[in-house]
Amino acid sequence: MEQPNGERLSLLLWFRLARFYHQSNRLSNDNVGQFDLTISQFDLLVQTQANQPISQMDLAEKLLVTKGSITQMLAKLEQRNLIKREQEWRIKRISLTDEGEALMKEARPDQSAFQSSLFNPLTSDEQKQLNTLLKKLQKGIESQTN
C-alpha cells in the first residue's frame, strides 16, 4: 500500500534525525574516549556538575535511564574517584570529586567544541531555525505523553 507524501516525508525525517543522532553519538564516544569516558558517562558527569549535589533518582530522570543503569554507571565512576555518593537518610546524593572536577575542566570544553563542530555545515540562522523546529517537535511529543 502506497504511503501518502506527507507520511513518507515524516518517515524520512525521522530516519534522518535518528541517523544523525546515532552518528553523532558514535563520534562523540570516540571524542570523549580520549578521557577514558563514554558519552553516557560524560553526560552523567555534566549533569552532576551542573546540579550537585543531585539525588541518584533525579540524575536518572535527567539522563532518561533506569535505576539499574544509573547504579552501574555511578559504580564505575566512583571506582575511578570521579564522583562520590553520600547517603542522606534514604537519599543518595551525587557530587563530583576534585578529580572529577579536574577532568570536567578539561573534557567539557573539548566535547562542547567537538559537538558544536557537527553543526558547522549550517549557518547561524539555520541553526536557530533547527533549534526552533526541534523545540516544536519536542512539545508535540510531550503533549502526547501527558
Q: Within a domain: residue 90?
A: yes
Handedness of CA 47, 45, 111, 99 (dihedral sign): positive
* Domain hosting residue 49, numbered range: 30-107
Q: Within a domain: residue 23?
A: no
* Global pTM value: 0.81
CA–CA gap between residue 107 and residue 134 (Å, rounded)? 27
Q: Within a domain: residue 123?
A: no
- Reading the chain (146 residues) residue by residue, the pLDDT tens digits are 455 666 888 899 999 999 999 999 999 999 999 999 999 999 999 999 999 899 888 999 889 888 888 888 899 999 999 999 988 888 889 999 999 999 999 999 999 999 999 999 999 999 999 999 999 998 988 888 76
CATH of the domain at 89: 1.10.10.10
Q: What's the domain count of the chain?
A: 1
Handedness of CA 38, 44, 46, 52 (dihedral sign): negative
